[in-house]
Structure 1
Amino acid sequence: MNILMLSSTFPYPPTRGGTQVRTFNLLKYLSQNHHITLVTQRESDVTDAEIAGLRECVNQLVVFDRPPEQVTSVGTLKKIQRLGTFLVTGTPPSVLNRYSIEMQTWVDNFVKSGKCDVVTCEHSVNEIYIRPEFKTHVKTMVNVHSSVYGTCLNQLATGTSENRLRDKINLPLLRRYERNYCSKFSNIVVTTPEDKVQLKQFNQTAEIAVIPNGVDLVSFPIRPQDPRGHRIVFIGAMDNLANIDSVCFFSNQVLPKIQKIYPDTTFDIVGSRPASEVLALGGKNGINVTGRVPSMAEYLHQSTLCVVPMRTGFGIKNKTLEAMAAGIPVVGSDRGLEGLDVDGLNTPLRALRANQPAEYIDAISRLFEQPELRYKLSVNARQMIETQFTWEIAGHHYEQICLGSKLLL
């Protein structure tokens, strides 16, 4: 089968971020049995060596330069113009900013030439390249990493919106946008049941399959021993707004109270491209902002527990899966544990759930004090990852969708 994969984010190396990890591992699996043409965009920090490395993973690699970044701090007139464009075109500025006319022309010609059986959009931002008429002669798939409408709705509901007025204006527009782009595709893939429910509202007859993320068990082996102590870790790309909100919330509202009980408690914020708000946290007692590191697994193995205090953002979280694979006890919010069966009746306890500061303090204190609880979470969570959340499992299910099979998920 000939598969054309579209990814406006450069998916190599697969440690760049959540979007890139999913895209890379799915194309890696599909490339074992199918002819893969990958069309992607090169950002300024992508090296020639990385392009060469990615080229080895696919049959054909086509790379376009990413369009120049738009200025984010714009005046009132410019903001009104952007809103007007959103109203008229139905496409958010965040999608239009990545749009390349050259890439569109290439995709149009490739599809018209009949050189592919399937076109996949790896992340919904790539939907812009799909013409409505494509699906009349080729299977079109969109791999929705998270619902943009659902995320905006959640941010407004939880008070984590950066600009509440803007998001209240955008909310109905995002609903219209998501409903319209979903109609262009033969198949829709999401990462969690919650996102399936969200998108099903737009089209009751849509073919929507839930395919969670996975973990590379070689890169994230289970830790050889419990380090004990009072060391907490958070992992993730630190220019991501949801991650920034998470570590700021935890550092300001939870950690100081934990340190009153356990004065030697430390908090490692591990991830590339830390934003200024994150770097500023490094000046607080016990907080270490690392930036990009050679191995996330090493930091996980050295930690007593991992927190995933997400307050916004839909979709399954790679950071949660990776910590569980490494055998690190996890304390996470409902958003951080989305898509995972970790507690409840007839379910082995695999993580501790917390949403409010008092709940985090209670859960973390229990783990600090109870080595048997840490061991229980470590074993149960690792077993879940091995049996349900590997990239081989995800890749096999994704392949079945490409081949036209229906998944009973």
Structure 2
Amino acid sequence: MKILVLSCNTFPYPPSRGAAEGRTFNLLKYLHQRHEVTLVTERQRWTSDEDVEALQQWVSHLMVFPGEQSQAKPGLLSKVGRFVESVAKTTPPNVLKRYSPEVQAWVDTFVAAGKCDAIACEHSVNEVYIRPEFRQSVHTVVDVHSSVYGWVLNHLEHGASENPLRDRLYLPLLYRYEKRYCAKFSSLIATTEDDRQKLAAISPGSPITVVSNGVDLETFPYRPGDPGGQRLVFVGAMDSSHNIDAARFFALEVFPQVRQRYPEATLSLVGARPVAEVLALKDEPGVVVTGKVPSMVDYMHQATVCVVPLRVGLGIKTKTLESMAAGAPIVASDRGLEGLTVDGANVPLRALRANSVAEYVNAISQLFENPALRAELSHNARSMIETNYTWERAGQLYEQALLEA
């Protein structure tokens, strides 16, 4: 099958840069083994020539367009103009801002020439290049990653929005936008059952397939042994709003109470691009902010416990899957465990669940003091990843969704 993949707002290399890059790259890698894949993407400010050359090896044809250049911060009149345009076009300003007429012209020509059997949009922002009439000649699928309406609503409900007034103003627009763009596609892909239900409520007639994230088991091997100690680790890109909120919540509200019980306990916040709010946490007793590290898995192997204290954000969490693959015992929120079956009747215990400060302190205390429980969670979680959450498995489901479209 000839597949055109659009990933214009995310240059999917290196895959370690972020969750979106990792998902897109590994799905491309799987499809390339069986199909003729043409990838259309844009350079980002950090994209090197070496990155472009490396990515070329994993697709049949690579089209790289110039990406968005840094611009001066827009003034009030510019912001008002963007808002008016976004309402008129039922499209968020960030999507309109990134739209490239050059990419659109190339896609139109490619489709008109009958050069593809299916089009896959990686992330919903790339829907802007899909014309409704494309469905008459080619299968069109969008891998949503997460509902944009659901994401903003979730942040508002949990007080994590950076600009609540703006987001409340945009919320009705985002709902109409998501409903409109979903209708253009032959089928939709969600990363969790929860996301599938949210999309089904917005677009009831659309076929929706759940394709989870996966883990590269060679990059995240199982730990050689239990390190013991009282070391906590939270991993993730430290410039993402949901990770910033989680890091601050845990370091300022949970960890001080853990230290009251265990004065030698440490907390490492491990991830690239820490913003000022995260960097400031290194002044808290026992807290280390690493920034980018050569090997994330080394920190997972050295951790007594990996915490995933997310309070906002939708979709399955790559950081949770990777920590489980590495064998680190997990204490996580419902949001951090979204899409995963880790406890309950007839389910091997794979992680401890916590949503309040007291629940985190209790769960962490159990694991600090019980090596057998750490071993149980470590073994059961790794087994689940090997069975259900490899990129091979995700690629099979993704391919099936494209073939059935």
Q: Shorter-normalised TM-score: what interval?
A: over 0.9
Q: Give the distance between the partners of 2:71 and 2:137, measured in 1 at CA.
A: 35
Residue 11 of structure 1 aligns to a residue in which SS? coil
User: What letter matches 2:110 in structure 1?
Assistant: F
Q: Aligned runs of 1:165-204 on 2, under 5 Å?
A: 165-204=165-204
Determine the structure 1 residue equivalent to 2:280: 280
Q: Give the distance between the partners of 1:94 and 1:361, measured in 2 at CA.
A: 40
Q: Give the distance between the partners of 1:116 and 1:48, measured in 2 at CA.
A: 27
Determine the structure 2 residue equivalent to 1:66: 67
Deviates more, 1:46-55 or 1:281-290: 281-290
Determine the structure 1 residue equivalent to 2:323: 323
1:391 corresponds to 2:394: no
Determine the structure 2 residue equivalent to 1:113: 113
Deviation at 1:282, TM superposition (A): 2.0
Q: Give the distance between the partners of 2:165 and 2:82, measured in 1 at CA.
A: 15
Deviation at 1:59, TM superposition (A): 0.9
Q: Give the distance between the partners of 1:224 and 1:336, measured in 2 at CA.
A: 25
Does the aligned pair in 2 maintain the 1:232–1:306 contact within 8 Å? yes
Q: Give the distance between the partners of 1:104 and 1:242, measured in 2 at CA.
A: 32
Q: Aligned runs of 1:332-351 on 2, under 5 Å?
A: 332-351=332-351
Determine the structure 1 residue equivalent to 2:370: 370
Does the aligned pair in 1 maintain the 2:86–2:96 contact within 8 Å? no
Q: Give the distance between the partners of 1:150 and 1:101, measured in 2 at CA.
A: 28
- When normalised by structure 2's length, the TM-score is 0.97
Deviation at 1:270, TM superposition (A): 1.3
Q: Give the distance between the partners of 1:157 and 1:123, measured in 2 at CA.
A: 23
Deviation at 1:174, TM superposition (A): 0.8
User: What letter matches 1:117 in structure 2?
Assistant: D
Does the aligned pair in 2 maintain the 1:324–1:330 contact within 8 Å? yes
In the TM superposition, what whole-angstrom CA distance separates every residue of 1:324-364 from its partner, at most 9, and x where no partner exists?
Answer: 00010111111111000011122111111111111111111
Q: Give the distance between the partners of 1:330 and 1:79, measured in 2 at CA.
A: 43
Determine the structure 2 residue equivalent to 1:13: 14
Deviates more, 1:163-172 or 1:378-387: 163-172
% same residue: 57
User: What letter matches 1:88 in structure 2?
Assistant: A
User: What letter matches 1:136 in structure 2?
Assistant: Q
Q: Give the distance between the partners of 1:10 and 1:190, measured in 2 at CA.
A: 20
Deviation at 1:75, TM superposition (A): 4.5
Deviation at 1:184, TM superposition (A): 0.6
User: What letter matches 1:296 in structure 2?
Assistant: M
Does the aligned pair in 2 maintain the 1:67–1:100 contact within 8 Å? no
Determine the structure 1 residue equivalent to 2:139: 139
Determine the structure 1 residue equivalent to 2:262: 262
1:291 corresponds to 2:291: yes
1:39 corresponds to 2:36: no
Deviation at 1:70, TM superposition (A): 4.8
Deviation at 1:269, TM superposition (A): 1.3
Q: Give the distance between the partners of 2:359 and 2:41, measured in 1 at CA.
A: 43
User: What letter matches 2:50 in structure 1?
Assistant: A
Q: Give the distance between the partners of 1:171 and 1:164, measured in 2 at CA.
A: 10
Does the aligned pair in 1 maintain the 2:45–2:69 contact within 8 Å? no
Determine the structure 1 residue equivalent to 2:241: 241
Residue 12 of structure 1 aligns to a residue in which SS? coil
Determine the structure 2 residue equivalent to 1:161: 161
User: What letter matches 1:360 in structure 2?
Assistant: Y
In the TM superposition, what whole-angstrom CA distance separates every residue of 1:359-399 from its partner, at most 9, and x where no partner exists?
Answer: 11111111111111111110111111011100000101111
Deviation at 1:274, TM superposition (A): 1.4
Residue 202 of structure 2 aligns to a residue in which SS? coil
Determine the structure 1 residue equivalent to 2:215: 215
Q: Give the distance between the partners of 2:114 and 2:101, measured in 1 at CA.
A: 20
Determine the structure 2 residue equivalent to 1:314: 314
- The alignment yields a C-alpha RMSD, in angstroms, of 1.3
Deviates more, 1:345-354 or 1:11-20: 345-354
In the TM superposition, what whole-angstrom CA distance separates every residue of 1:251-291 from its partner, at most 9, and x where no partner exists?
Answer: 11111111111111111111111112112222222222222
Deviates more, 1:285-294 or 1:135-144: 285-294
Deviation at 1:198, TM superposition (A): 0.4
Q: Give the distance between the partners of 1:353 and 1:185, measured in 2 at CA.
A: 37
User: What letter matches 2:197 in structure 1?
Assistant: V
Does the aligned pair in 2 maintain the 1:329–1:374 contact within 8 Å? yes
Residue 57 of structure 1 aligns to a residue in which SS? coil
Determine the structure 2 residue equivalent to 1:92: 92
User: What letter matches 1:345 in structure 2?
Assistant: A
1:57 corresponds to 2:58: yes
User: What letter matches 2:23 in structure 1?
Assistant: R
Does the aligned pair in 2 maintain the 1:67–1:99 contact within 8 Å? no
Q: In 2 relative to 1, CA 346–175 (structure 1 residues): closer, same or farther, beyond 3 Å?
A: same
Does the aligned pair in 1 maintain the 2:41–2:65 contact within 8 Å? yes
Deviates more, 1:337-346 or 1:88-97: 88-97
Deviation at 1:71, TM superposition (A): 4.5
1:360 corresponds to 2:378: no
Does the aligned pair in 2 maintain the 1:69–1:97 contact within 8 Å? no
Q: Give the distance between the partners of 1:56 and 1:287, measured in 2 at CA.
A: 41
Q: Give the distance between the partners of 1:97 and 1:369, measured in 2 at CA.
A: 52
In the TM superposition, what whole-angstrom CA distance separates every residue of 1:269-319 from its partner, at most 9, and x where no partner exists?
Answer: 111111121122222222222222221111100111111111111100000
User: What letter matches 2:221 in structure 1?
Assistant: P
Q: Aligned runs of 1:124-135 on 2, under 5 Å?
A: 124-135=124-135
Unaligned runs of 5+ in 2: none
Unaligned runs of 5+ in 1: none
Q: Give the distance between the partners of 1:99 and 1:234, measured in 2 at CA.
A: 35
- When normalised by structure 1's length, the TM-score is 0.96
Residue 3 of structure 1 aligns to a residue in which SS? strand
